[in-house]
Amino acid sequence: MTPRVPFPFTPFTRRDWIKLTGAAALTPGLGAAASPGPTAFYRPIDYTKAKAIPTICFGCTTQCGVLGWVEDGRVRRISGNPLDPNSRGRICAKANGVIDLTYYPERILHPLRRTGPRGSGQWERITWDEALDEIAARMRKLKEEDRAHHLAVQVGRDKTQGLMQRFLHAFGSPQQLNRRAICSSNPRVANMSYFGESVDWDTGDYEQSKLILNFGANPMEAHQGGMGALQRIQKARCDKGARLVTFEVRPSATASVSDEFFPVRAGTDGAIAMAMAHVIVKNQLHDADFWDRWCNMPFADIEKHLEPFTPAFAEAESGVPAADIERLAIEFAKAAPHCLTLINRGITKHYNGAHAGRAARLLDILVGNIGRPGGFTMTTRSAWKGGWGQDGLPETEFPSPAPPAPPAWLPGTTMFAELPESVQARVKAFPKSWQEKYFGELYTPSEYPLSWQWQVMRVGQLVYPYLKEGRAKLDTYISYTFNSAYNYPEASLAREVLLDETLLPFHIAIDVVMSETSALADIILPEAAAFERWDPQVTNAYDLIPFTAIRQPLHPPLGEARSVLRIFRDLARRVGHGMDAYFAFEEEEEFYKGWFKNLPITWEEFKRRGIWYDEKRSKDYELHEQPVPESELAGAAFDEKTGIYSVEKKGKASAIGVKLADGSVVRGFPSRSRKVEVMQDLFVQGAKYAGLPADDPCGNPLPTYFKVPSHVDMKEDEFHWVTFKWNAHTQSRSNYSKRLAEIIHTNPIWMHPDAGKKLGVKSGDTIEVTVKRPKGNTYRAGEEKPVGTIRHKVLLRRGMHPRVLACSHHCGHTQMGIVGNPDRPEGPVPGIEGMDPALLTDRDLPNNLWWARKRGGPGNGMAINDTFPIDPTPLIGTQNWFDCVATVKKVTPV
C-alpha cells in the first residue's frame, strides 16, 4: 500500500539548498489555498458553451498557433489552430501541458520577498506596490550614480520580441543577456557566415525535397520549428518517396524513423560533410553556374581545399563507411535542387561545430539548391526586403520611437575603466568599427568577437564565471523565463554565483513557478501565464510565405499575476528619468494593437483568426535573384569596387542590390558582399583579435574539419558524454505538468549493449560517470579535477554509438513544485486561487504521482548539468555540450 497524501498539501523541499546553505524552510505566499475537496467531480467539456480562442502555445520555442477552448472562464483544452501555416493545426503533447501550468496548485500568484538568507526558502507575500517601489528605488539609484550598466536582464526563451531591449535601452543599460550560446549560436553561424543572415533557424523546402541529409538534428521530437518541419518531411516521404538520412550518436526519434541511420562518433560530422563535398567536386557534380555567379572565391580554390578530406579519412574519424559517404554524396548531388542538409545542435555544439555546420551547408551551396524548390531556403523573415519590413511584414512603429542604444564601452568612459587591464588592451586593439559594437564583457565578450559580429549571440554561460572573475560588475539582475541554476552547464557554478550577494547584490526573478533559479531570488514577481497574456509572434515560415500571429489572453491572470509588459511599464513609470516615454500606454492590448496597426485586416479580425499572412503572395524562392526595380536604382549610390547599390536609411548606407558579372542587378544575399561568402575573412580577423595562434583551425576562413581537442587522445575505455531532449518535455518549462511527467519522469543513461557487456552491466544497473575538463582554448581547460560525477541507472540500447553515453535533460528537479519533485517531504500545498475544482483535469494530484519513489516508482531522475563543464568554443562562444569525455564504472552493489 502506498501512503495517501492529504489534499491540500504544501511543503517546499529545500534538499538542494540545505546542501548549499545549511538552511531549510517552507514557502508561504504562493497561491492561496482553495482545496477542490473530495466531493468535486471532473466535468467534461460542454462544447455548446465552450469558446475557441486563438492564441500561441508557449510549450516550446516552436510557438504553434493554437485554439484555447474556454468554458466558464477557464481553459479546458488546447487544439491546433488550422490557420497556422507552419503547424497546420497540429500540436504535440506539450501544448496541453501548458494548461497544467496555468492551474498548477503551486503556481506563484503573488509577489514574494525573501525573509531568510538567499536560497533558504523563506518568503513573505508582499504587495505589487512594495515590490515595484523597492526595485524602482534601486534602479533610480543606479541611474543617479551613472551606473545604468549595472542593471542586467537575462532571459531564456522569452518571446516578447524586443521588449527586454526596450526596457534596458530606455534605462540606458546594454546588459541584455540571453541563452543563445548554450542553445543555437553555432547552427546560426553556418548561415550567417555564408549568407549574412540566419533567420531564426534552418528552414528548408522540406515538402518538395527528395533527399534530406540530417546531421544530428532531431525534428521528430525537438528542433526549434519541429512541428512544421516534421510534418513536411514525413509528407514528402509518404507522398513522394523522399528519403531521410540521419547521422546521430544515438537512436533519437528522428534517427529511428529515418530511411538510413548512421551512428557517428561525437564531433566528427564535419569530416563526413567535408568528404561528401570532396566527392561532389571530384565527380564534377556541382552546379558550376551557381558557384561562379554567387560564390566569393574561385572554384579551383575550393577544389584544392577539399582534396585531403577523402571518404577514407572521414571513415577513420567518424566510423561511417567511406562507401556510404561516397554513395550518399552522389545521390545528394543527383537529387539537386530537390535536396538539402538539416543541421542543428547535434553537428554544431562542438569545438569544431561552426566549421562543421559550414561544411554541411557547403553541400547545399555546391549543388546550387539555395532558395530553390525542394532545397535549402530562407524566407523574408530576414533582411531580404522588397518594400516590406525587416520581417517581410508590414513595418511596425508603435508604441513610440525605440529608445536609443546605450553608449558603447569606449576607451575613456568610466565603464571602460571598470574592465580588467588585459580586456582593455584587447578591446583597444580592435578596429574602430568593432570598438563601436563593443558593449562590455557580459554582452559582447572580447575573446568571442564572432559572437557579436553577425548577430548578438551572447555567451550566456560565461556571465557567472565573468562576474566571479571580476570582469564585470552588476547590481540588479532580473531573470526572466530563465532557469540557469538547472539548465546551464556547470549549473552548480550558476547556483554559487546566484547565491552570492557580493556578486549579484539584488536578484529579481519574473517567473510562474518556483524554479531552481527563482528560489535564489530576492524578489519574485509572478508573471501572467502564457495563456493569460499578449505577445507578438514572427517566426520562420515553412511554407515560405512570411506570417505573423498574436498570443492573446484566454482569460485574465489568476491571483495577482501580471504580464512582463505591464511589470516593465509600471517600473518605467516609477523609475522616471525619461524611461516612461517608451512605455506610454495604458492597456497591454493597446500596445499590441498599435504594434500591428499596419496589418491590412482589422484588429478584431486578427484576434479572431490569430494569424495573418498575405494569401496572394508568392513563395520566397530565390530571393537573391529578384531584380532591383529601376525606380529604386535611380536614387541609389553605386560602389564600383563591390558592385553594391545602396540607399541611405536612418543615416546609414543600406544595400539594396548587387551588380553581377553578367551585368544584371539583383537583390543578392544579406551578406556584406551580397554574395555567398564561402571565404569568410571574419574568422581570420576574429582569431587575430582574440589572440589565437595564426595556424589555429578555428580561424580558418573556409569550411573545414579538425578533431575536437578533447577527443585527440581519448583512451579506449573513455566515452563521449552527450545530452538530448525528449519529445514530451521542454527544458525545465514542462516539469510542472503532470500529464507530461507521467510520460517521462526519469532519464537513465543510454549505452550500447556491447559496451554494457564489457562493463558487466545490464539495463537498470547503476553506473558512475565522471566527466573530465575539456581541452583546447576554453574555460578551465585541461584542469585535472573532474567537472562532476553522477551515479545513475543505465539503459542498454541498440543503435547507440558504442563509444557514446547519452542522458536526457528535463529530470531530477529539486524545485518546480510537487510534480517536478514528487519525493519531497510531505506537507500542505496550496490550491489554485479562483479555480473551480470540477474543471481541474487532475483533482487528486499528490496521490497520482505514481512514479515517486515513496510510492514504489522509479523517482524523478537526475539533474545532470553539474557534470557538463562550461565550454565555450573559440571566437563564437557556443557551448560545446557534446564534447565531454567521461570515464565509467559499475557501481556495486548496483
Ligand X SMILES: Nc1nc2c(c(=O)[nH]1)N[C@H]1C(S)=C(S)[C@@H](COP(=O)(O)OP(=O)(O)OC[C@H]3O[C@@H](n4cnc5c(=O)[nH]c(N)nc54)[C@H](O)[C@@H]3O)O[C@H]1N2
> Phi-psi region for residue 53, left (φ > 0), alpha (ψ -120 to 50) or beta?
beta
Which residues does 102 contact at the CB level (< 8 Å), separation at least 6? 75, 529, 530, 531, 532, 558
Q: How far is the CB of 509 from ligand X (least distance, A)?
A: 8
What would the x/- binding string for ligand X be over residues 247 to 286, using CB under 6 A? Answer: xxxx-x-----------x-xx-x-----------------
Nearer to ligand SF4, 92 or 884 (CB): 92
Q: Which does 57 bind (CB under 5 to 8 A by kind): ligand SF4, Mo ion, ligand X, none?
A: ligand SF4
Binding test (CB under 6 A) with ligand X, winner from 226, 371, 831, 837: 226
Q: Beta strands 243-248 and 260-263: pairing type?
A: parallel
Looking at beta carbons, which pairs linking 327-331 to residues 24 or more positions away fall under 8 Å?
328/213, 328/245, 328/260, 328/276, 329/275, 329/276, 329/277, 329/278, 329/279, 329/280, 329/363, 330/279, 330/280, 330/283, 330/285, 331/211
Contacts with ligand SF4 by CB under 6 A lie at 57, 59-60, 62-64, 87, 91-92, 94-95, 226-227
Nearer to ligand X, 368 or 697 (CB): 697
Nearer to ligand SF4, 318 or 539 (CB): 539
Q: Is 317 in the site for ligand X (CB under 6 A)?
A: no
Three-state DSSP class for residue 221:
coil
Q: Is 218 in the site for ligand X (CB under 6 A)?
A: yes
Other beta carbons within 10 angstroms of residue 706's beta carbon come to 17
Contact stretch for ligand X (CB under 6 A) within 45-53, 68-76, 117-125, 525-533? 525-533
Binding test (CB under 6 A) with ligand X, winner from 175, 483, 878, 880: 483
* 594, 399 contact by CB (below 8 A): yes
In the window 437-466, what residues touch ligand X (CB under 6 A)? none
Q: How far is the CB of 61 from ligand SF4 (least distance, A)?
A: 7
Nearer to ligand X, 253 or 339 (CB): 253
Distance of CA 874 to the CA centre of its chain: 20
Three-state DSSP class for residue 77:
strand
* 24, 17 contact by CB (below 8 A): yes
What separation in angstroms does the CA of 700 have from each of 215, 571, 593, 693? 21, 47, 48, 11
The amino acid sitting at 707 is: K
Q: How far is the CB of 460 from ligand X (least distance, A)?
A: 8
Nearer to ligand SF4, 59 or 670 (CB): 59
Q: Is 179 in the site for ligand X (CB under 6 A)?
A: yes
Q: Which does 341 bind (CB under 5 to 8 A by kind): Mo ion, ligand SF4, ligand X, none?
A: none
In the window 542-581, what residues touch ligand X (CB under 6 A)? none
Q: Which does 487 bind (CB under 5 to 8 A by kind): ligand SF4, Mo ion, ligand X, none?
A: ligand X
Q: How far is the CB of 100 from ligand X (least distance, A)?
A: 12
Binding test (CB under 6 A) with ligand X, winner from 529, 769, 771, 829: 529
Looking at beta carbons, which pairs linking 78-81 to residues 24 or more positions away fall under 8 Å?
79/52, 81/54, 81/610, 81/611
Q: How far is the CB of 866 from Mo ion (least distance, A)?
A: 19
Nearer to Mo ion, 345 or 738 (CB): 345
| Separation CA 174–CA 150 (nearest Å) | 9
The amino acid sitting at 6 is: P
* 216, 240 contact by CB (below 8 A): no
Q: Is 227 in the site for ligand X (CB under 6 A)?
A: no
First-to-last alpha carbon distance for the chain, in angstroms, is: 25
Nearer to Mo ion, 178 or 563 (CB): 178
Q: Where are the alpha helices (DSSP H) in 58-200?
A: 93-102, 128-144, 163-171, 180-183, 185-195
Q: Which does 722 bind (CB under 5 to 8 A by kind): Mo ion, ligand X, ligand SF4, none?
A: ligand X
Percent helix, strand, coil in the chain, to 5, is: 35, 15, 50
In the window 342-381, what residues touch ligand X (CB under 6 A)? 344-347
Nearer to ligand X, 172 or 830 (CB): 830
| Separation CA 170–CA 577 (nearest Å) | 9
Q: How far is the CB of 732 from ligand X (least distance, A)?
A: 4
Nearer to ligand SF4, 59 or 460 (CB): 59
| Separation CA 892–CA 894 (nearest Å) | 5
Nearer to ligand SF4, 122 or 539 (CB): 539
Nearer to Mo ion, 593 or 809 (CB): 809
Nearest to 836 by CA among 269, 71, 134: 71
| Separation CA 73–CA 102 (nearest Å) | 13
Nearer to Mo ion, 55 or 62 (CB): 62
Distance of CA 270 to the CA centre of its chain: 22
Three-state DSSP class for residue 481:
coil
Contact stretch for ligand X (CB under 6 A) within 245-253, 390-398, 737-745, 844-852? 245-253
In the window 175-214, what residues touch Mo ion (CB under 5 A)? 183
Which residues does 573 contact at the CB level (< 8 Å), separation at least 6? 580, 583
| Separation CA 887–CA 880 (nearest Å) | 18
Which residues does 10 contact at the CB level (< 8 Å), separation at least 6? 26, 27, 30, 33, 827, 828, 829, 830
In the window 726-755, what residues touch Mo ion (CB under 5 A)? none
Class of residue 498 by CB neighbours under 10 A (exposed 0-12, middle 13-18, buried 19+) = buried
Q: Which does 727 bind (CB under 5 to 8 A by kind): Mo ion, ligand X, ligand SF4, none?
A: ligand X
Q: Is 530 in the site for ligand X (CB under 6 A)?
A: yes
Q: How far is the CB of 187 from ligand SF4 (least distance, A)?
A: 18
Q: How far is the CB of 593 from ligand SF4 (least distance, A)?
A: 24
Nearer to ligand X, 171 or 247 (CB): 247
Contact stretch for ligand X (CB under 6 A) within 12-20, 420-428, 449-457, 720-728? 720-728
Nearer to ligand SF4, 55 or 186 (CB): 55
Q: Which does 800 bind (CB under 5 to 8 A by kind): ligand X, ligand SF4, Mo ion, none?
A: none
C-alpha cell, 602: 482589422
Q: How far is the CB of 708 from Mo ion (least distance, A)?
A: 21
C-alpha cell, 538: 514572427
- Number of shown-chain residues binding Mo ion (CB under 5 A): 1
Q: Kind and range of the H or E element at 305? A: helix 299-306
Binding test (CB under 6 A) with ligand X, winner from 193, 231, 487, 710: 487
Peptide bond into 600 cis (omega under 30): no
What does residue 806 show for φ and ψ, rounded to 5 degrees? -130, 140
Contact stretch for ligand X (CB under 6 A) within 182-190, 430-438, 627-635, 869-877? 182-190
In the window 129-158, what residues touch ligand X (CB under 6 A)? 156-157
Interface residues with ligand X (CB under 6 A)?
58, 60-61, 156-157, 179, 182-184, 215-218, 221-224, 226, 247-250, 252, 264, 266-267, 269, 344-347, 480-483, 487, 510-513, 515, 527, 529-530, 722-725, 727, 729-733, 806, 809, 864-865, 882
Interface residues with Mo ion (CB under 5 A)?
183
